[in-house]
Amino acid sequence: MKKDLLTINDLSSSEINDIFKLASELKRNRQGFGEPLKGKTLGLIFEKPSNRTRVSFEVGITELGGHAIYLGSYEIDLGKRESPKDVAKVLSRYLNGIIARTFSHKTVVELAKHSSIPVINGLTDYQHPCQALSDLFTIKEKKGLSNITVAFIGDGNNVLNSLLCICHKMGLKINAACPKGYEPSKDILKEASSAAIFNSPSDAVKGADVIYTDVWTSMGQEKEYKRRLKAFKKYQVNAELMKLANKDAIVLHCLPAHRGQEITDEVMDGPASMVLDQAENRMHVQKAILIKLLK
C-alpha cells in the first residue's frame, strides 16, 4: 500500500523516530549507503522557485542511486494547462514518486488522491512537513528532545503549522509569538492543543531552548509586504531578545532569510545559530523519507 507525506499527521511518533534514526545513519555514511533508489525515478513538480528543497532532494535522490526530473511551473502549469488529477494519473505510469511544491495545499491532496505512487509535500501554503522534520532532527542533534521549549517568533504560516504539529506529537513545548491577526489557523491550534500562543515575543522566548524565526512575507504574499513590515516590526530576533532565552539557546531559520527584518546579522552569524546545520539536515532527513516511502 502506497504512503504519502502531505502533513506531519501522516506520520506516527514512532515513524518520525525511525526517520531520525535512518537520517543519522545516512549523515554519518553519506557516500557509502548503497543505492536503495537504483532504477527509480522521481518527479519534482514545483510551482514555486526553490533553493534548498530542490537541491537537497535532487542531490539526495542522486546519492541514493535514483534519478530526478524537475518539472517547473511552465512544464505543467497545474490546474490551467492540465488538471492535477490527469497529471497524477499520467505521471504514475512513468515515475516511482512525486515531490510537489505548490501554492495551494488542495493541489497536493488532489495529486495524492489520484496517484498510485507516493506523493511528498515539498511545501504548500498549509504545511511544510519536510522542513519540520529537519527542524526537529536538528534540535535532537543539538539539544535532545527531552524537556525542550521551542519559541517561534513571526508569522502563523506553513512552517509554524508543521512545527506546532510535530512538537505536539513528539512532546516538545512550543510557544509562538505572532501579531494579532497573524496567528496560526484554528484547525492547527486544535491539533496542537499543547501550544501556547503569545502576541509578545519576549513572553514567548522566556526560558526557551530554541528560538526559531521565518520571513514575514512568504512567496505569494508580495502585495502584503508593506502592511506586514509594519505589523511585524517588533518581532525581530536580535541580541536583546536572545538575552531572555536560556543562555545556551540555539537559533533556527528555515531560510531564505531577510536579514535586518526578522533576524539580525549578529544573531544569524553568531555562535547560537545552527541555521546552516539545519539547512544541511534537509538532505539527510529527506533521504530517509524517500527510503521509507519508496522501499
Of the candidates 4, 125, 209, 214, the residue annotated as catalytic is: 214
Cα 267 versus chain centre, distance? 21
| DSSP character at residue 272 | T
CB atoms within 10 A of CB 70: 14
**Cα 220 from Cα 105, distance rounded (Å):** 13
Report residue 170: phi and psi, to 5°: -100, 5
- Whether 259 is catalytic is no
Amino acid at position 79, single letter: G
Report residue 7: phi and psi, to 5°: -140, 170
- Whether 214 is catalytic is yes
Torsion of CA 175, 253, 240, 156, to 10 degrees: -40
Of the candidates 4, 52, 131, 155, the residue annotated as catalytic is: 131
Pairs from 224-230 (Cβ < 8 Å, separation ≥ 24): 228/155, 229/261
- Give the helix/strand (H/E) hosting 204: helix 201-205
Of the candidates 52, 54, 128, 253, the residue annotated as catalytic is: 128
- Whether 167 is catalytic is no
Of the candidates 4, 52, 54, 101, the residue annotated as catalytic is: 101
Residue 149: strand pairing partners:
173
User: Judging by beta carbons within 10 Å of its beta carbon (0-12, 13-18, 19+), is residue 205 exposed, middle or buried?
Assistant: buried
- Whether 128 is catalytic is yes
**Cα 229 from Cα 216, distance rounded (Å):** 7
Q: Are 118 and 293 in contact (CB under 8 A)?
A: yes
Which value, in Å, is the radius of gyration of the alpha carbons in the chain?
19
- Whether 282 is catalytic is yes
- Whether 101 is catalytic is yes
Of the candidates 254, 278, 284, 286, the residue annotated as catalytic is: 254
- Give the helix/strand (H/E) hosting 140: helix 129-143
The set of catalytic residues is 101, 128, 131, 214, 254, 282
